[in-house]
Amino acid sequence: MERQYVIDDFKLSESWRMFRIMGEFVDGVENLHNLGPAVTIFGSARILPSDPVYQKTEQIAELFAKNGFAVITGGGGGVMEAANKGAAKAGGASVGLSIRLPFEEVPNPYSNLKLEFRYFFIRKVMFIKYAAAYIAMPGGFGTMDEVFEVLTLIQTKRIKPFPVILVGSEYWSGLLEWINARLRDSHLISANDIDIVQVIDDPEKIVATVRRFVIV
């Protein structure tokens, strides 16, 4: 009988978890569906304000906001903070989608629309669903996860082929060489799959590339 209670409690907790998941989806959709044209900027939470990457991110986000785009980030520090800061400085919509973590993820003060998530996968849906372009600054495992999620969805035609731009040619060159040598040349991806992604370092050119694709 005691074992049955444990099983029943587990089933009950799983049922309540589904309600929490549904609630997070509803909250995200209600808050973001009227956002308008937006770009999502990915990147490391560990980059300091003194880092050139932080400064370039802020510049890119400011340019996007001045061109009528909302800027979506993970709402934390580092690159995310820089992007939210740049968008807010330009008077644009600065969206921070933070996640509850035991370390690192403290919401930055620069987002003027803040949402907090318990589940990574729901947060990623919001990153992708409400953006018309994806900008990846240097980052770690989380950034790689987000970039490859977007590439996979475009490759499999689950989402439109929105621009995917990697910023920092020196940083990303090794990964792209590996993809070409190990994936493309081994026929593990199609020859033109690598064309989904672009590497652009100049902030003005980044914004111009997205504007050619998205009418604001």
CATH number at residue 22: 3.40.50.450
For the segment 140-163, the average pLDDT, to the nearest whole number, is 97
Q: How far is CA 113 from CA 110, 163, 194, in A?
A: 9, 24, 34
- State the pTM of this model: 0.91
Strand order in the sheet with 113-117: 113-117, 94-99, 70-73, 38-42, 134-136, 164-166, 197-199
Residue 86 pLDDT > 70 = yes
Total number of domains in the chain: 1
pLDDT tens-digit readout, 2-34: 555 444 555 557 778 888 899 999 999 999 999
Q: Which domain holds residue 81?
A: 2-213
Q: How would you classify the pairing of strands 94-99 and 70-73?
A: parallel
